[in-house]
Amino acid sequence: MRISKKCVCGKNHSVSCSSCSKIRMVLLLKSGNRELKYRQKNNRYTNPVWYSPMSKNRKSVQRIIDGMYKRFEKSKYKGVTNKVMFYDNYTKELIISK
């Protein structure tokens, strides 16, 4: 996929997009924190997933990960997370796990 600062998949997202963002961050929450998980249409709960801002797609992977991790540390998820996993959103490969 071509690296772009704008959504090119047709969803027309302005900040981040599940298809066009370069990095995907998955937060694995500790048990007992169901209220912080995302509720799906079928009433199942899933761990939060954040996508990198598309405006940062041309930056290095490490720089994007550092920025996303800083935002995570300021969020309500910091104390209730077991593991933070970063994936390349294009190849779906794990980059790093913290």
**Strand 81-88 to strand 23-29: parallel, antiparallel, or no bridges (unpaired)?**
antiparallel
Q: For the chain, how many residues are written? A: 98
Delimit the domains of the chain by residue range.
23-97
Q: How many CA atoms lie within 13 A of 3 on its CB side?
A: 11
Look up the pTM and report it. 0.84
pLDDT digits (tens, 9 = 90+) for 40-78: 889 888 999 999 998 888 899 999 999 999 999 999 999
Tens digit of each residue's pLDDT (9 = 90 or more) over 26-40? 999 988 888 888 888
